Amino acid sequence: MGRVRILSMIAASIIVTMAIVSPARADKIVLRLADGIPSGHIIDRLVIEPFIKAVSAASAGQIEIQHFPAEQLGKSRDLLMLTQAGVADIGFIVPSYISDRMPLTTVTELPGIFQTTCQGNAALRSLISDGEILDAQEYKPNGIKPLIIFLMPAYQLVLSSQHKLDSIKDVEGLKIRTPGGAMDLTVLGIGAVPIRVAPPEIYESMSRGTLDGALLPYQSAVSYHIPGLLKSGTVEQDFGTVAITFSISLKKWNTLPASVQTLLADTGKALSEQACGPFDRAENAAMDKIRAAGVRLIPPNNADRADLAAAFEKVRQDWAQRLDNRGKPGSAVVAAFTEAAAKAKSQ
């Protein structure tokens, strides 16, 4: 249902592009799209498949996107490098996995800045637009152009079946999976130990006890088949979220005809704008599925809310200060993202 709705919504936005590309048909263009997620993942169903189908339809088959999922072309953390090198043309670029190269875009991981996925999506896109602060500071210097930009729903804390969660203090000393970046600071802020683990490794690490829990959206927990390993988790809390882009190398981009560039950009923009609603609905469905599996989903009590608010404020300050100290505009990015989120909320 989600895929059909997305495809129908983006169709109108690419009709003009179809008229541009189809009459003057050029040689077939093949683009390799690589990601680090398993086939059938929510991102695959709501973003990748619709993008591939929409591009093919809009170009009347002139553009073929070959999909290499589940780290077939390389590890998730290496996909920026592989895209830059031309091994992939369009890469699954997750700044959290490469926070040494793209630390500023991990501003989305800071907790408490926005209330809905669509609000955060709009704020992030505004900062990555051509010439804006994140584009100028991280995307152009890394030689990539984002085609699709979106956020996952707010991450929640889930604990394995060996641990019970009644209060946020129950996580002190536990080993919690994070994607890296600012979420490491968040986990430290609640007294736990951050462990960076790539998505395909979460199930094995948790089943072996290498991890006691994880920060994840619930739809990802379902996609990674871990509900059977869980005992409890949080709801109604914002531990931040991860920015995801599917970005094309500027080197490849500059070889494409202008009409093809327009088609790819317009299709990606339409998907970026529409994805948040289906993601939120999928998150609610995933929570229902996890509850049905016997996992206790617990809202924070008043004491927890106060403790988390204080911890989250410190995380935001520490994150900005660390980047400022490295000569990067951390405070400016936090201010810009907060302002863009407030603007998106009022629209």
Count of C-beta atoms within a 10 Å radius of residue 228: 11
pLDDT in tens, the chain (347 residues): 455 555 555 555 454 444 444 434 558 999 999 999 888 888 999 999 999 999 999 999 999 999 999 999 999 999 999 999 999 999 999 998 899 999 999 999 999 899 889 999 999 999 999 999 999 999 999 999 999 999 999 999 999 988 989 999 999 999 999 988 899 999 999 999 999 988 889 999 999 999 999 999 999 999 899 999 999 999 988 899 999 999 999 999 999 999 999 999 999 999 999 999 999 999 999 999 999 999 999 998 999 999 999 999 999 999 999 999 999 999 999 999 999 999 999 87
Q: How many CB atoms lie within 10 A of CB 173?
A: 9
Tokens of 242: 């991860």
| Domain residue limits, the chain | 2-153+243-281, 156-240+295-346
Cα–Cα–Cα angle for 200, 251, 13, rounded to 5 degrees: 75
Residue with the two structure tokens 């390993």? 229
- 243, two tokens: 């920015």
Domains 2-153+243-281 and 156-240+295-346 alike in fold: yes
Identify the burial level of 324 via C-beta atoms within 10 angstroms of its C-beta, where 0-12 means exposed, 13-18 middle and 19 or more buried. Answer: middle
Topology classification of domain 156-240+295-346: D-Maltodextrin-Binding Protein; domain 2 (3.40.190)
CATH number of 2-153+243-281: 3.40.190.170
CB 15 within 8 A of CB 287: no
* The model's pTM: 0.86
End-to-end alpha-carbon separation of the chain, Å? 27
β partners of residue 175:
193
Q: How far, in Å, CA of 297 to CA of 282, rounded?
A: 16
